[in-house]
Structure 1
Amino acid sequence: MDSLEGLPVFVRTVREGSFSAAARALDLTPSAVSKQIGRLEDRLSVRLFNRTTRRLSLTEEGAAFYERASRILTDLEDAAAAVSSLRATPQGRLRVTMPSGFGLLHFLPVLPDFLARYPELDLDIDVNDRFVDMVDEGFDVALRIGELQDSSLISRRLSANHRVLAAAPGYLHAHGAPRRIGEVADHNCLVYTYRAQRHDWHLVDETGAEFVVTVSGNVETNNPTILRASALAGVGLVLLPLWLIGPDLKAGRLVQVLPRYHGPDSAINVVYPPGRHLSARVRCFVDFLVERFAD
C-alpha cells in the first residue's frame, strides 16, 4: 500500500458510525465517502465493513485495520504539531472522555474558560459512566475516578476520591439513622451498578479497619447523578463521593451517616496514551485539569 489515501475517511466513518455522518463531518458527499472506502478495500483486498440497509459494522479485518489506522493518523497529527511547534497556541481536535457526574458538575462550568484560553482547539467530549478503551475508541485523554487498572496508559493524579454514607433528613426522620455499621443493611440502600460487587459496600473506619456490608434497595442505576437525586428525594441511603454530594452536605440537603466510616479512598486521575512526544493538545488539557482540580 503506497498511499494514505482513504485512511482519514475510513477512520472518521468508523467513529461516526455511517457513511452519511462521516460525509457531513468531512464536508463530502456520501457517495464520495463510499468510493474512497471502496478504493481502500480494493487496495487492501479485504472487505472493511459489513453493510446492510440499516447498519454499518466493521469486519474482523476492518477492526484490526482501524486500530492501526487510527494510531497512524494520531501520530501524523502529532508529527505535524511538533513540526509547527511550535505555534504557541495548541490547535486541532481533542477527543476527551469523562464520567457523567464529574463532567456535568465540575468540568462543564470551567469549559468556557478552557475554550477561551485555547480558541484553536476543538473539543469532542464523550460523557458516560462505562469503562472506555481509549486506544480502541480513539480518545486522546480520559478522566478516571477510582482505582486504575494496570495498563500502559500514563496517569496524573488530580484529587482524592473520598466516598461517604449519606441520606436526606426526611429519610432519616422517617426510618431512623443507623447507629452501628451492621444496621446499614437494614436500610433502603441505593446501588451503583458499575461497581464490582455492587451489593457489597466496603467501608473503612478511622483506624483503618475494613468492613463489608451487603445491601439492597429499590433503586439500582449506572448513573451516580440519579443516585444523588434519589437520595435528595428521600428514597434511601447512598455511598457517594464528596465531589458529587459535598455541596448537598454543606447545605443540609443531605446528612452524613456514620461519619466514622467511609469508602476506601481512591483517586481522580487524568490518563492518556504513552508517546515519546506529548502533543500540545493533550498537554494543555492535562495542565488545565491539574490547575483547576488538583486536590
Structure 2
Amino acid sequence: MLSTEDLALLEAIRETGSLSRAAVRLGKAPSTVSYAARQLEERFDALLFDRRRYRLQLTAAGELLVNEASRLMEDVSRLTQRVQQVANGWESRLWIVTDELVEFENLVPLIQEFDALGSGVPLRMTHEVLKGVWEALREGRADLVIGATNEPPAIPSLRWMQLGEMEWVFAVSPKHPLAKAKEPISRATVTQHRAIVVADSARTSEGRTYGVSSGQSVMAVSTMRAKILAQCAGLGVGWLPRHRVDSLLKNGTLVEKQMADPREPNVLYAGWRGDQDGRALNWWLEKLKQPSLANRLVQGIDLFV
C-alpha cells in the first residue's frame, strides 16, 4: 500500500517531469526525492519511471500504480468519513420510497434542507404504487415510506403517522361517451367503458386497483401522469387526484362527472420501522410531523398548469 507521501511523490513527478522540480514542489532535497523514487521501484520490483528522455515520465506500470493508488486512497477516505458518520449517529444511507401520488417536485425543497445539514448521508429516492409501497418497507427496500395509501399492514416494528387526505374526482375527456352521460352515473354504466389505472407495483402479493368493476376492460399504466394523459385523450375513464387535474377541469380538457358511488378520500401515511434509528430518519420524521409540509405533500401541485 502506498503512503500519502509516496502518492504525492508520484503525482509531483508526473506533473513536473523532473526529479528536481518535483523536489521543489515537495519542499525536499533532490537527492531525497531520487532515493524515494528508487525505493518505490525496489518495493514493487518494477520500472516505474522512464528516465530515457529529457522529461521524466511514468511508465505504464507507474501510471497504473498512481491511478489505482489514488482511487484506493479516495475509497479509504470515503470509508473513514462514513465510519465517523455512523459513529456520530448518522446512517450510512437513507432509502426513501414515495407513493407515485407524491410528486418529486414537492420533495425538492426538503432534500435541499437535508443537504444543508452536511450529514454526508446519501439519499436514495424511489417510488412504488399502492401495495408496493408498504411491501418495500416490509422487505427492506425502504427505510421510510411517504404517501402510502390503505391501512398500514402487519409489519414487524411498524410505526406510522397520517399525513392527510387526498380527494378524488371522476373525470373524462369531453370526447368520451361518458362526458354526456346522465348524472349521477351508475357503476353499471361505467363498467361498459375501459378504465385507466396505475399498475400496483407489489412484487410478492396480488396488486390492488381502485374504482374498477368485475369484468371491466382495463388499461394499466406506470404513472399517474400517464393515466391523466390517457384520460385526456379519451382512452378510458377513472378517478384522478383533484389537485393534479384542477387546471384541466377548469380549461375543459377534462370533465368532472357526478357518480352514484362517490369515492371516499384516501388517507396517506408515512411509515418506518421502529427498530431502526438514526439522525437522518429522525430529521425527516420531524419534518413530516409539520402540518404545513404534510399538507403540501398530500395536496401536491398541478403539473398541468
| TM bracket (short chain) | 0.5 to 0.7
What pairs up with 1:121-136 in 2 under 5 angstroms? 121-129=121-129, 130-131=132-133, 132-134=135-137, 136=139
Aligned-partner Cα distance in 1 for 2:160–2:190: 35
Change (3 A) 1:176 1:186: farther
How far 1:80 sits from its partner (Å)?
Answer: 2.8
- For structure 2, which runs of at least 5 residues remain unmatched after alignment? 1-70, 74-82, 299-305
Q: What is the aligned partner in structure 2 of residue 285 from structure 1? A: 284
Aligned-partner Cα distance in 2 for 1:106–1:98: 11
Q: Which has the larger radius of gyration?
A: 2
- RMSD in angstroms over aligned alpha carbons? 3.7
Answer with 243-252 or 233-242: which moved more.
243-252
SS at structure 2 position matched to 1:201: coil
Relative to the length of structure 1, the TM-score reads 0.55
Q: What is the aligned partner in structure 2 of residue 15 from structure 1? A: none
Aligned-partner Cα distance in 1 for 2:166–2:215: 21
Q: Is the 8 A contact 1:178 1:184 kept in 2?
A: no
Q: What is the aligned partner in structure 2 of residue 190 from structure 1? A: 196
Instruction: Give yes or no for the alignment of 1:150 onto 2:167.
Output: no
Instruction: Give yes or no for the alignment of 1:140 onto 2:140.
Output: no
Relative to the length of structure 2, the TM-score reads 0.54
Q: Is the 8 A contact 1:168 1:234 kept in 2?
A: yes
1:266-287 per-position Cα deviation (integer Å, ceiling 9, x unaligned)? 3111111003x84221121123
Aligned-partner Cα distance in 2 for 1:251–1:112: 33
2:168 to 151, 163, 166: 163
How far 1:79 sits from its partner (Å)?
Answer: 7.3
**Alignment length (residue pairs):** 204
Q: What is the aligned partner in structure 2 of residue 201 from structure 1? A: 211
1:86-111 per-position Cα deviation (integer Å, ceiling 9, x unaligned)? xxxx7753211112342435334x35
Change (3 A) 1:169 1:153: same
SS at structure 1 position matched to 2:88: helix
Percent identity between matched residues is: 15
Q: What is the aligned partner in structure 1 of residue 232 from structure 2? A: 232
What pairs up with 1:54-93 in 2 under 5 angstroms? 80-82=87-89, 93=93
Q: Is the 8 A contact 2:85 2:92 kept in 1?
A: no
Aligned-partner Cα distance in 2 for 1:128–1:104: 13
SS at structure 2 position matched to 1:133: helix
Aligned-partner Cα distance in 2 for 1:128–1:232: 24
Task: Look up the equivalent residue of 1:170 and give its one-letter code.
Answer: K
Change (3 A) 1:218 1:135: closer
Answer with 218-227 or 189-198: which moved more.
189-198
